[in-house]
Structure 1
Amino acid sequence: MTITVLVPDEHGVAALAGIDGVRAVRYEPGALPDEAAEAEVLVPGFLTADKGSLVAGVPKLRLVQLLTAGAEAWVGTLPEHVMLSTCSGAHGGSTAEWVVAALLTMFRTMREFEDDRRTQTWQMQQTETLQGKRVLVIGSGDLGKQLKRRLDAFDAEVTMVANTAREGVRGVDELPELLPHHDVVALMVPMTPKTRHLANADFLSRMPDGAVLVNAARGPVVDTDALVRELSAGRIRAALDVTDPEPLPPGHPLWTAPGLLLTPHVAGSCTGVHARAYRVIAEQIAQFARGEEPSNLVRGDY
């Protein structure tokens, strides 16, 4: 028995070619091939707009396999019999790398030194260092684990946080106690109803003066208005790869907020992204083809 998988690009066709019992067929949004009538697995593109019509065009669909680790755009949108699986494990390293780059840029004042270069100013100054910084990593999945591994190499002191406490990991209910004692708070959580505005006004107020909030999760995990107030007061700093709203519209106060490093949702957008994503996807689909549940299966809000 052969399972037909619809993929959005040639990377997917090549990645799935060696899996027994799987036939990968490329599709174009809005112009599904004839094979869609028999397809059981759909791999949506990175930016899929019309989910409803796409899913409706695959009548025998049993699994939607995402290219992203985040599933919030798909949770609750599929028929009950259709499974949803993420690409967790593909983008954690790249995202963790972005966090480290952002922190080094801020602590070692790289932007300021670049400004001096433009004005041909030789101005030596002492900077902060990542060494010894107390970093609170909220989220202990692939992204959080990848970040801890990199921060350990820089001799930072890392505290991990998850929904529930376990050995070596603190519980999210301990955040009020933990926040005042950390120099950096890195958000590495999925977007769910529970994590929406996790970093609200009370959360931010508990961070010590001069601390850095890093959001490499999703924009709505942070209460934007509360963050703007803290940044405008100069009390804390932030590094954001995601915002709410997103894209950030012209004139939004985040564009001019002091103490902010901002990038346009590019933490995972780097060379090799397709190879890393399809390596995980191939494993998930191979499991499905063997009659197993994919290991990245989304359950509930995930």
Structure 2
Amino acid sequence: MSSAPLPTAVFAMNPVHLPELFPPPLMSRLRELVAIDPGLVVHDFADTAAAPALARAELLITGWGCPHLGAEALDAAPLLRTVLHTGGSVRSMLGEAFWERGLTVSSAVGANALPVAEYTLAAILFAGKDAFRLRERFRDEHVYPGPDEYAAVGNLGRRVGIIGASRVGRRLLELLRPFDLSVALHDPYVPDAEARSLGAQPLPLDELLRGSDIVSVHAPDTPETYRMLGRERLALIPDGGVLINTSRGALVDPDALTDELVAGRISAVLDVTEPEPLPAGSPLYRLPNVFLTPHIAGSLGNELARLGGTVVAELERLALGLAPAHAVRRSELAISA
């Protein structure tokens, strides 16, 4: 008895990411689940060369660089019923027509949260040891700090404030549990009892800022969070405090942050900024109290295979008649990244 034909799928993303998202063993598993041409990666839904494949596509496997899925794109793929996204947020990728047609979308945002949480954990522990400042001094002066400088160093009981119980925020809270830190959380959508179950003391934002040695930002970029850390709130962070931002630069007033950092009152670990990248003349590139990285906290290199593996796992569920484990609901978009 012949088996049922495999569902037809098409890649839609920047093709440069495909080899890392689906290395050979993973691509082999993928091709056992769907009929797909690895040599066809759509980056323009109006491309006539892609039209025949799109017309047959029941699934799209998307990623960074996927064109916008509006009405015209969906008209080119009339059989489409599911989108499996190897990236994080799908908010800007999906148009109104997608939701109106009742299509299903799954995202690997949870898998992408892990390396961001790992980066942040490392930043918190280094910040607690004052490693960033002491490294700069050691490089310039080649001397060890004196006992008075060591007095304020250490992670025992260090107060860490987490802004946002996003997927990254929650993974970070999990990673922080083995350490002897005092952790607080601000998230207006998380009940106090849930915050405590996550291992954090729930606090209003201003109180969290006043009481934290290290503040880490993990809220989504929404109209409500735009510039949530302005001049007045940044001033609440205690002298010598550290701000970590792996979310989006728009959540922090860039001028106010620059003024605080130039003054040397606080320090920062910034994987995201506004604008991104910063202009060449920005003082943040040169300040000893700023650890600046080029948006590397999310999945890179071999970590991309974790995202591709999430899509393969979703396809395995679909083959069994199960719903995707990481489906995105329209109602979540207003409060998610």
Normalised by the length of structure 2, the TM-score is 0.75
Deviates more, 1:87-96 or 1:49-58: 49-58
Q: Taking structure 1 as reference, are residues 16 and 193 closer, same or farther at Cα in structure 2, changes over 3 Å only? A: farther
SS of the residue corresponding to residue 42 of structure 1 reads strand
Q: Is 1:143 the counterpart of 2:168 in the alignment?
A: yes
Which residue of 79, 87, 90 corresponds with 2:108? Answer: 87
Report the Cα distance in structure 2 between the residues aligned to 1:189 and 1:258, rounded to whole angstroms.
27
Report the Cα distance in structure 2 between the residues aligned to 1:77 and 1:251, rounded to whole angstroms.
40
Per the alignment, residue 34 of structure 2 pairs with: 22
Q: Taking structure 1 as reference, are residues 249 and 237 closer, same or farther at Cα in structure 2, changes over 3 Å only? A: same
Q: Taking structure 1 as reference, are residues 150 and 243 closer, same or farther at Cα in structure 2, changes over 3 Å only? A: same
Q: Taking structure 1 as reference, are residues 251 and 106 closer, same or farther at Cα in structure 2, changes over 3 Å only? A: same
* Matches for 1:122-271 after TM superposition, within 5 Å: 122-125=143-146, 126-127=149-150, 128-162=153-187, 163-169=189-195, 174-257=204-287, 259-271=289-301
Which residue of 25, 32, 55 corresponds with 1:37? Answer: 55
Contact 1:160-1:168 within 8 A present in 2 as well: no
Q: Is 1:102 the counterpart of 2:153 in the alignment?
A: no
SS of the residue corresponding to residue 98 of structure 2 reads coil
Across the two proteins, how many residue pairs are aligned to each other? Answer: 301
Contact 2:258-2:284 within 8 A present in 1 as well: yes
Which residue of 3, 7, 11 corresponds with 1:3? Answer: 7
Report the CA distance between 1:169 and its aligned residue.
Answer: 1.1
Per the alignment, residue 64 of structure 1 pairs with: 83
Report the CA distance between 1:138 and its aligned residue.
Answer: 1.9
Report the CA distance between 1:129 and its aligned residue.
Answer: 1.9
SS of the residue corresponding to residue 272 of structure 1 reads helix
Q: Taking structure 1 as reference, are residues 16 and 180 closer, same or farther at Cα in structure 2, changes over 3 Å only? A: same
Report the CA distance between 1:142 and its aligned residue.
Answer: 2.9
SS of the residue corresponding to residue 83 of structure 2 reads strand
Deviates more, 1:52-61 or 1:257-266: 52-61
Contact 2:262-2:283 within 8 A present in 1 as well: no
Residue segments in structure 1 that go unaligned for 5+ positions in a row: none
Q: Percent identity?
A: 30
Q: Deviations over 1:248-274 (max 9, x none)?
A: 232234324552111001012445312
Report the Cα distance in structure 2 between the residues aligned to 1:244 and 1:86, rounded to whole angstroms.
26
Q: Deviations over 1:41-64 (max 9, x none)?
A: 223333x17436994654433333
Which residue of 68, 77, 88 corresponds with 1:51? Answer: 68
Q: Which amino acid aligns with 2:108?
A: C
Report the Cα distance in structure 2 between the residues aligned to 1:291 and 1:270, rounded to whole angstroms.
30
Q: Deviations over 1:82-126 (max 9, x none)?
A: 444321221223112211222344443445555566568243444
Normalised by the length of structure 1, the TM-score is 0.82
Contact 2:59-2:81 within 8 A present in 1 as well: yes
Report the Cα distance in structure 2 between the residues aligned to 1:186 and 1:228, rounded to whole angstroms.
17
SS of the residue corresponding to residue 185 of structure 1 reads strand
Larger Rg: 2
Contact 2:206-2:236 within 8 A present in 1 as well: yes
Deviates more, 1:280-289 or 1:180-189: 280-289
Q: Taking structure 1 as reference, are residues 75 and 100 closer, same or farther at Cα in structure 2, changes over 3 Å only? A: same
Q: Is 1:295 the counterpart of 2:321 in the alignment?
A: no
Q: Which amino acid aligns with 2:68?
A: K
Q: Taking structure 1 as reference, are residues 138 and 119 closer, same or farther at Cα in structure 2, changes over 3 Å only? A: closer
Contact 2:84-2:107 within 8 A present in 1 as well: yes
Q: Deviations over 1:57-86 (max 9, x none)?
A: 544333333222233432547633244432
Q: Taking structure 1 as reference, are residues 60 and 151 closer, same or farther at Cα in structure 2, changes over 3 Å only? A: same
Q: Answer 1 or 2: which has greater helix percent.
A: 2
SS of the residue corresponding to residue 91 of structure 1 reads helix
Residue segments in structure 2 that go unaligned for 5+ positions in a row: none
Q: Which amino acid aligns with 1:136?
A: G
Deviates more, 1:6-15 or 1:257-266: 6-15
Q: Taking structure 1 as reference, are residues 50 and 280 closer, same or farther at Cα in structure 2, changes over 3 Å only? A: closer
Report the CA distance between 1:288 and its aligned residue.
Answer: 4.6
SS of the residue corresponding to residue 25 of structure 1 reads coil
